[in-house]
Chains A and B, each alone.
Chain A
């Protein structure tokens, strides 16, 4: 096992680069490894696997957002033919879900959060699990869930984060409604405002958003012959096996989580969903159990994107230079903390956007309410603030008669600039390039299609971190091994949630080892049988597991070439390992040409392992305190710009997107054919976020009410 060198300046985490023209597999538009099966319809997702004599499990959820639970009785439900057991909180060995950064070794005080697996005496949101029913059939479940008797004594609730933080608000939790608070105080904001030519103020609100991946939460669990509890579930995090073990009170080595190909995640499968309930049902019955949430359950009870209230005050000089921001953010965490404190930390660090701002005063708070919980969602708090800082940029530009592009380019961050939190931008910032790219592509604003139509053009830019917070001691491991026939096996614990995570690893291994793509097999997402690679979240997987596979592949290549060199008496430096163009791999040197199977046999004879384990460690840094000040918070950042032309019908208000153009600095795409999809989808999601209806009213109910968005 080796470790990568810590990140050199300008190259976070020691990311390797090669000259583009040297690459044969990486950076090539190749069909994805997983595509053939997905298009044939044979991929087996979490809900597609069934066992003989399998049981089914379903949750009974609270129908009210805030109540004391006064009575629970399972007698009638348990009497339904086919029901195997009905479980309440008292039946859970350790009835607490702890959220403290799964898979990591450091506890972050601000994030330490807990909730009951099954609520016992208090429910805090509509949809909170209260009982778990396990039965022989879905029909028995339907009958029994109706008959689980739970009495609720409703309590006053609070459904707005600002109201939750006001004096006298109903306490969602005994220790108060404030979950987390971050502050930034950089430069001298008061002086900057006093010296400003222009000051603009704005207040912005964002709403709850559901991830709405096509695959609802699902999984199947079983006990294997070694006494290990197996959970094959739709998840972004196989490391939740630790959390399940803690709930069950068994050693971590007795729980295994397998992530098959996942039907979309977007952050919504970062927290546990079906895992603890499947585990309890399997442990109690000893039989295989399947749990599939309905879409309605998914919408009702799984964490959403944080609604935020963003209050900005911005000072600028007459020439358009942004002098200062004063920012106040309140986020709705819903009934349980989940990852709220960290989401809010991301919002705080990203709150000034991709611009140089020397004077910043920021306060960000997140509060408990009786709304559905909120947690990770693509961008992880970085997206909500875009609405705030970009609307402010437009306002300043309008006041000063500058174009939206001018003011953004004038204030754009550059390499060497310092973010308000204190981190220096060490890599190239291609923000101006992105802005120019969307402007070039857009051309002139289109003319309205009719006399009662108007066309508007908007643009926005953003900054987004990638990789996990640097004090989380992030790491990823991967194993590569050559088979006797020269094919290659890769093992890496990465969950593949549809972004081509496993396929990218195959490309990297293929590039280094010269084994053709169709002879590379990737085993992924298994907490017991693949080296742990961490979460598929935070835009970290390619950085982390990609480098782990690279490390392992380089080790393996060097080992094979070393063995061949000793066998043949040639210097290893003169040998190369590459595709032979005929579907195989060749080890070539001056006057030497060996097939890979021949080379593997040489390794065997010389006691050289034809396999290697590589571990990649993320950049390190110190944890932050409430007052944010750090040399490094994230490994690095990336930038983008979007432009949209839309037409409004002046009479009906109907809005039609005429053109939407996005440019992002994605670095060197491992598979360029995949990148357009990876940015087109968030673009659609962004449009949806902006233009669709909000889903949560002020009463904690979770169905669309038709009130307009922000």
Chain B
């Protein structure tokens, strides 16, 4: 019925190879083939940000990218922001401290977008943080606690530099990403 494609992606440090229809979006590839369910289906048209993942360090809406387009790429989801054994990464710790999750459905996408936003180490104003998260919708929190968390994360990093990078990885990580230009405030579409 459809053409198939064999795709290999490194998802949260784990190499996965799956063969399936070449038409599959990255979101369906992750959720239905790889069992990686923290990126959520929210709208399917790149509006809500619930499916945001980092593709080689850059945030994208996984519902708008075909898996076949990104064969060989490194994908980081919210679960990939945790350290070994599921220890929360610095950004996740800040979300926890600021009570930034209510229903939690937007949280994985919000986290990876925030991680990309903080990647360059520059301190951003609340307005800049809000602008940087504008592609991620939340219907529970009113956004305040989420902006608080991102602000807290960047302040914590400045006060106490964390050897881990914005993805929560130790510097000697064997699967360090290829260098990419820092993500701008706009979420990749």
B50 touches A214 (CB 8 A): yes
A263 touches B105 (CB 8 A): yes
Asked if B176 is at the interface (CB within 8 A of a chain A CB), the reply is no
Given the known inter-chain contacts A41-B111, A139-B1, A214-B48, please indicate yes or no for A263 contacting B40, CB distance below 8 A. Answer: yes
A500 touches B48 (CB 8 A): no
Question: Nearest B residue to A688 by beta-carbon distance?
Answer: B139
Given the known inter-chain contacts A41-B38, A41-B107, A215-B105, please indicate yes or no for A677 contacting B139, CB distance below 8 A. Answer: no
Question: Measured between alpha carbons, how far is A48 from B103 in the docked complex, in Å?
Answer: 15
A81 touches B1 (CB 8 A): yes
Question: Measured between alpha carbons, how far is A490 from B181 in the docked complex, in Å?
Answer: 50
Asked if A416 is at the interface (CB within 8 A of a chain B CB), the reply is no
Question: Measured between alpha carbons, how far is A172 from B137 in the docked complex, in Å?
Answer: 37
- Residue-wise, chain B 1-17 has the 8 Å CB interface mask toward A (1 for contact) of 11000000000000000
- Residue-wise, chain B 107-142 has the 8 Å CB interface mask toward A (1 for contact) of 110010000000000000000000000000111111
Nearest-Cβ distance from residue B94 to partner chain A, whole angstroms: 10
Asked if A264 is at the interface (CB within 8 A of a chain B CB), the reply is yes
Given the known inter-chain contacts A139-B1, A294-B44, please indicate yes or no for A42 contacting B141, CB distance below 8 A. Answer: no
Question: Nearest B residue to A497 by beta-carbon distance?
Answer: B103
Question: Nearest A residue to B109 by beta-carbon distance?
Answer: A214
A40 touches B79 (CB 8 A): yes
Question: Measured between alpha carbons, how far is A211 from B137 in the docked complex, in Å?
Answer: 13
Question: Measured between alpha carbons, how far is A673 from B101 in the docked complex, in Å?
Answer: 11
Asked if A216 is at the interface (CB within 8 A of a chain B CB), the reply is yes
- Residue-wise, chain A 677-698 has the 8 Å CB interface mask toward B (1 for contact) of 1111101110000000000000
A interface, by DSSP: helix, strand, loop or mixed?
loop
Nearest-Cβ distance from residue A228 to partner chain B, whole angstroms: 25
Asked if A499 is at the interface (CB within 8 A of a chain B CB), the reply is yes
B interface, by DSSP: helix, strand, loop or mixed?
loop
A677 touches B42 (CB 8 A): no
Chain A-chain B contacts (Cβ-Cβ < 8 Å), number: 140
Question: Measured between alpha carbons, how far is A296 from B44 in the docked complex, in Å?
Answer: 9
Nearest-Cβ distance from residue B42 to partner chain A, whole angstroms: 5
Nearest-Cβ distance from residue A171 to partner chain B, whole angstroms: 36
Question: Measured between alpha carbons, how far is A40 from B101 in the docked complex, in Å?
Answer: 11
Question: Nearest A residue to B105 by beta-carbon distance?
Answer: A263
A674 touches B40 (CB 8 A): no
B37 touches A292 (CB 8 A): no
- Residue-wise, chain B 81-123 has the 8 Å CB interface mask toward A (1 for contact) of 1100010100010011101111111111001000000000000
Chain B residues positioned under 8 Å from A44 (CB to CB)? 37
Residue from B41, B97, B138 having most chain A Cβ neighbours under 10 A: B41
Given the known inter-chain contacts A34-B104, A38-B101, please indicate yes or no for A684 contacting B96, CB distance below 8 A. Answer: no
A42 touches B144 (CB 8 A): no
Residue from A36, A40, A497, A685 having most chain B Cβ neighbours under 10 A: A40
| CB-contacts of A11-70 with B (<8 A) | 31-32, 34-45, 47-48, 50
Asked if A208 is at the interface (CB within 8 A of a chain B CB), the reply is no
Chain A residues positioned under 8 Å from B43 (CB to CB)? 295
Asked if A617 is at the interface (CB within 8 A of a chain B CB), the reply is no
Chain B residues positioned under 8 Å from A676 (CB to CB)? 142, 144-145
Kindly identify which residue among A39, A261, A497 contacts B95, using a CB–CB cutoff of 8 Å.
Answer: A39
- Residue-wise, chain A 495-511 has the 8 Å CB interface mask toward B (1 for contact) of 00111100000000000
Asked if A466 is at the interface (CB within 8 A of a chain B CB), the reply is no
* Number of A positions contacting B (CB below 8 A): 51
Kindly identify which residue among B31, B41, B88, B143 contacts A216, using a CB–CB cutoff of 8 Å.
Answer: B41
Asked if B77 is at the interface (CB within 8 A of a chain A CB), the reply is yes
Question: Measured between alpha carbons, how far is A681 from B96 in the docked complex, in Å?
Answer: 19
Question: Measured between alpha carbons, how far is A497 from B140 in the docked complex, in Å?
Answer: 10
B104 touches A43 (CB 8 A): yes
| CB-contacts of B20-61 with A (<8 A) | 21, 28, 31-32, 35, 37-38, 40-45, 48, 50
Given the known inter-chain contacts A39-B92, A266-B139, A683-B142, please indicate yes or no for A677 contacting B105, CB distance below 8 A. Answer: no
Chain B residues positioned under 8 Å from A213 (CB to CB)? 103, 105, 139
B79 touches A673 (CB 8 A): no
Chain A residues positioned under 8 Å from B97 (CB to CB)? 31
Asked if B67 is at the interface (CB within 8 A of a chain A CB), the reply is no
Chain B residues positioned under 8 Å from A37 (CB to CB)? 104
Question: Nearest A residue to B86 by beta-carbon distance?
Answer: A40
Asked if A484 is at the interface (CB within 8 A of a chain B CB), the reply is no
Kindly identify which residue among B21, B35, B99, B107 contacts A677, using a CB–CB cutoff of 8 Å.
Answer: B99
Chain A residues positioned under 8 Å from B108 (CB to CB)? 41
Asked if B153 is at the interface (CB within 8 A of a chain A CB), the reply is no
Asked if A212 is at the interface (CB within 8 A of a chain B CB), the reply is yes
A41 touches B78 (CB 8 A): yes
Given the known inter-chain contacts A39-B107, A40-B78, please indicate yes or no for A498 contacting B88, CB distance below 8 A. Answer: no
6 contacts between A and B (CB under 8 A): A38-B104, A39-B104, A45-B40, A261-B104, A295-B42, A679-B142
Nearest 3 A-B pairs (CB), nearest first?
A498-B103, A680-B142, A263-B105
